[in-house]
Amino acid sequence: MIDFIIVGNGLAGICFAEIAIQNGKSIYVFDDNSQPSSKVAGGLYNPVVLKRFSEVWKAKEQLEIAFPLYKAIENKLDVIFDYKIPIYRRLASIEEQNNWFQAADKPNLAPFLASNLITRNLTNIKSSFGFGEVLETGYLDIASLIKEYSLYLSKLDVYTTERFEYEKIEFAEGYLQYKNIQAKQIVFAEGFGLHSNPFFHNLPLDGTKGELLIIKAPNLKLDVVVKSNIFILPIGNDLYKVGATYDWKDKTNKPTEEGKKELIDNLKDLICCDFEVVKHFAGVRPTVKDRRPLVGSHFKHKNIHVLNGLGTRGVMLAPFLATQLFKNITENTPLENEINIQRIYKKLNIK
């Protein structure tokens, strides 16, 4: 009998799998690659909401868990996927400059916002009011992480790409039977695929489609991330990731001409050099209407759990949430109220 079946091998599933393995637990992972949102995500992490210059919920606690976990995975796999890189927030007015200074003076934001503005000119970036530098930032090459971690799990013979069939779960005293596997617990980390899950389909997972571009711009010469109403992320060889759009209606993973045009128009407002679109891709982020993740145990089947709703900040959230859920299952440590799906069951009057 194994400790955990994990369904999904995106960021959430990988973080939970790694924490389980580090704690001596046995796992088996199902991932049919049906949900590409982790693979196509921008991968940026920063502890500040740059639209309003406010702190991300529990940013300090998230970073304290995320950095060591990602470093441990890098060391184990002998691969680098966590790249530290500054984020420069383009300031659009004197008022935004003043707002930046006020935010940087706040004790909770001071560790994350440089107190002096960046006034140096960035080659071919339009900016009249300078930039604010965000600290403790970077990006994860999530596609590489997923590829390498899948290979690692395959070598351990604990990974399959076959589709998980919910109806094949049989409940027994103290364990679950799934085909030829006996497991103490199942963790569903399926992203937007949660809508097909009969145990958790009543949770309010909304889904927000995002589209991104890879561009080639030899004259841009950026060595930082620039954030305006879009971001430009240098990924080497004169290539840049540009994103992202937000579409609350379209729930497909298909790139659209509308999304491409929106990104190109915004890009032309930000840079003043030629560029070529190399790639255009899309995915549906697992978002929630109340902007809080969905973590916890099924109201009836206490050994079936969900780890979902990471939204646009999955890089920081995934290690934190996976740790919370693991400790909740193994040590009965209470989940944070803001993430616990009991808040949903309470509203739905499900007991």
CATH number, domain containing residue 165: 3.50.50.60
Asked if residue 268 is part of any domain, the answer here is yes
**pLDDT value for 33:** 80
- Answer whether 182's CB lies under 8 Å from 54's CB: no
**pLDDT value for 41:** 72
Distance CA 302, CA 296 (A): 9
**pLDDT value for 39:** 54
Taking every pair of Cα atoms in the chain, the longest distance, rounded to a whole number of angstroms, is 67
**pLDDT value for 206:** 87
Does 122 lie in the same domain as 150? Answer: no
Asked if residue 25 is part of any domain, the answer here is yes
Q: Which of 191, 227, 221 is nearest to 38 (CA)?
A: 191
Does 271 lie in the same domain as 157? Answer: no
**pLDDT value for 148:** 96
Joined tokens for residue 57: 């919920």
Domain boundary among 261, 285, 309: 285
Q: What angle do CA 208, 301, 323 make, to 5 degrees?
A: 60
Q: How do 131-134 and 87-90 pair as beta strands?
A: antiparallel
Distance CA 144, CA 157 (A): 20
Does 311 lie in the same domain as 281? Answer: no
Number of domains in the chain: 2
- 3-class secondary structure, 120: coil
Range of the domain at 248: 86-136+208-285
Does 269 lie in the same domain as 215? Answer: yes
Low-confidence residues of the chain, pLDDT below 50?
none
**pLDDT value for 312:** 83
- 3-class secondary structure, 306: strand
Asked if residue 183 is part of any domain, the answer here is yes
Distance CA 231, CA 88 (A): 10
**pLDDT value for 285:** 87
- Answer whether 319's CB lies under 8 Å from 15's CB: yes
**CATH classification at residue 235:** 3.30.9.10
**pLDDT value for 251:** 87
Does 217 lie in the same domain as 262? Answer: yes
**pLDDT value for 35:** 66
**pLDDT value for 37:** 58
Distance CA 337, CA 324 (A): 11
Asked if residue 90 is part of any domain, the answer here is yes
- Answer whether 204's CB lies under 8 Å from 110's CB: no
